[in-house]
Chains A and B, each alone.
Chain A
């Protein structure tokens, strides 16, 4: 456990150093800031809650998640996140982790979909089960090589539509994902922007979500990351578990293939 933490710290520091090639003083100090944060990640608190939630019998059917199939067979959690999103035959749909969890809450635990997805993003003491579950499940893929296969036609299509979405400019500010994440060596304010159209940037970004966001004191999932990007792009509200959210996730996850997954991380 300790070694894992130290590794995470080293990788974070290395990432920060990579971004700050010019090594001017503000960048070096920010790298120090990030390194100090990595020494203790409150995402641990979410991981603990998530593990307990996974095993807890809940819902009208009084069932735990332990029969939930995340793609590697019922109950297999280890390494599952590194292969998501993927096509699930039982739903005939490409699903990311959170979409799949909502599916299991409905089919296994007997919740109505509206009830299962009432709180998808937590705020303070009103926590989201999705964030806790995602913290633990993704931690179980730490160190596993990203391997999103695109073996199914619907996975191909999700990738292709996600790519279109990535470059789609719209809204009053004309912003696309690519506006901020289409070139290397750029930053917004003092934050390095990963270039998601190149392998290194795509890998560094995707493998470090979910993350504990210190500015919010919350653990945030990839669904949240996308929703909040579009908020700042001045788009409408990206629906949780929507086809567009899954397509874009598929595009970004696939581009991270080959990198070791390394989340939950800790970020500004």
Chain B
């Protein structure tokens, strides 16, 4: 089941498809970030999202993932996420192809701009998902980042 979902996710691509899949999946009570410790150990994006209670996240153009499309080195990939959604409460980063996709989650209190920047490891070329909780609901966006081999390669 898990495997199939992952496959569809890869081939289907769009976030809308993903949201539909989640909607069709097992519905669990929504969990807040307090539970994200569990989500960090999940091995797929859908499982991590479900552990966060974000399985119904809808694709949104109000989330901007600012990252290079090609990284010279996967050990350090700069990623900034900006949310233009009113009432943004949290920003979460997931990297699909990493062994544990959930990379980082930020709580945004009132008065802090919904715009954070950090650097993550990406093992191989992968889709990166930004998940935003705004006014109690989850939204998401994604971007593909290519990791290249660099230098003398030895």
Contact, chains A and B (beta carbon distance below 8 A): yes
Which of B57-65, B66-74, B91-99 contacts its partner? B66-74
Taking CB atoms, residues of chain A closer than 8 Å to B72 are 30, 33-34, 190-191, 268
Whether a CB of chain A sits under 8 angstroms from the CB of B149 is yes
Q: Across the interface, do B148 and A190 meet the contact criterion of CB distance under 8 Å?
A: yes
Q: How far is the CA of A33 from the CA of B95 in the complex (A)?
A: 17
Q: Across the interface, do B153 and A215 meet the contact criterion of CB distance under 8 Å?
A: no
Taking CB atoms, residues of chain A closer than 8 Å to B30 are none
Q: How far is the CA of A39 from the CA of B118 in the complex (A)?
A: 10
Whether a CB of chain B sits under 8 angstroms from the CB of A217 is yes
Given contacts A29-B68, A30-B70, A33-B71, contact A191 B151 (CB under 8 A): yes
* Chain A 24-54 interface 0/1 with B at a Cβ cutoff of 8 Å (1 = within): 0110011011101101000000000000000
Q: Across the interface, do A29 and B152 meet the contact criterion of CB distance under 8 Å?
A: no
Q: How far is the CA of A217 from the CA of B72 in the complex (A)?
A: 14
Whether a CB of chain A sits under 8 angstroms from the CB of B117 is yes
Q: Across the interface, do B154 and A232 meet the contact criterion of CB distance under 8 Å?
A: yes
Q: Across the interface, do A214 and B154 meet the contact criterion of CB distance under 8 Å?
A: no
Within 8 A of A (CB), among B94-152: 117, 119, 148-152
Given contacts A214-B73, A214-B75, contact A189 B148 (CB under 8 A): yes
Q: How far is the CA of A190 from the CA of B147 in the complex (A)?
A: 11
Q: How far is the CA of A214 from the CA of B150 in the complex (A)?
A: 12
Within 8 A of B (CB), among A207-248: 214-217, 231-232
Whether a CB of chain B sits under 8 angstroms from the CB of A3 is no
Q: How far is the CA of A33 from the CA of B72 in the complex (A)?
A: 7
Q: Across the interface, do B117 and A39 meet the contact criterion of CB distance under 8 Å?
A: yes
Q: How far is the CA of A133 from the CA of B71 in the complex (A)?
A: 30
Q: Across the interface, do B70 and A37 meet the contact criterion of CB distance under 8 Å?
A: no
User: Shortest CB–CB separation between residue B68 and chain A, in angstroms?
Assistant: 4
Residue of B nearest to A27 (CB): B70
Q: Across the interface, do B69 and A29 meet the contact criterion of CB distance under 8 Å?
A: yes
Within 8 A of A (CB), among B23-74: 67-73
Most A-side CB within 10 Å, residue of B69, B77, B119, B151:
B151
Whether a CB of chain B sits under 8 angstroms from the CB of A2 is no
Q: Across the interface, do A268 and B151 meet the contact criterion of CB distance under 8 Å?
A: yes
User: Shortest CB–CB separation between residue A53 and chain B, in angstroms?
Assistant: 25
Taking CB atoms, residues of chain B closer than 8 Å to A191 are 72, 150-151
Given contacts A36-B78, A37-B76, A39-B78, contact A215 B70 (CB under 8 A): no
Most A-side CB within 10 Å, residue of B68, B69, B75:
B68
Residue of A nearest to B76 (CB): A214
User: Shortest CB–CB separation between residue A69 and chain B, in angstroms?
Assistant: 36
Q: Identify B70's interface contact among A29, A217, A232, CB under 8 A.
A: A29
User: Shortest CB–CB separation between residue A213 and chain B, in angstroms?
Assistant: 9
Taking CB atoms, residues of chain A closer than 8 Å to B154 are 231-232
Q: How far is the CA of A191 from the CA of B151 in the complex (A)?
A: 6
Within 8 A of B (CB), among A177-212: 188-191
Q: Across the interface, do B149 and A189 meet the contact criterion of CB distance under 8 Å?
A: yes
Beyond the given pairs A30-B70, A268-B150, 13 more chain A to chain B contacts, judged by CB atoms under 8 angstroms and listed by A's residue number, are A26-B70, A29-B70, A30-B68, A30-B72, A33-B68, A33-B70, A188-B151, A189-B148, A189-B151, A190-B150, A214-B75, A215-B73, A268-B73
Q: 11 A-B residue contacts at CB 8 Å?
A: A29-B68, A30-B70, A30-B72, A33-B68, A37-B119, A188-B151, A190-B72, A190-B148, A214-B76, A215-B150, A232-B154
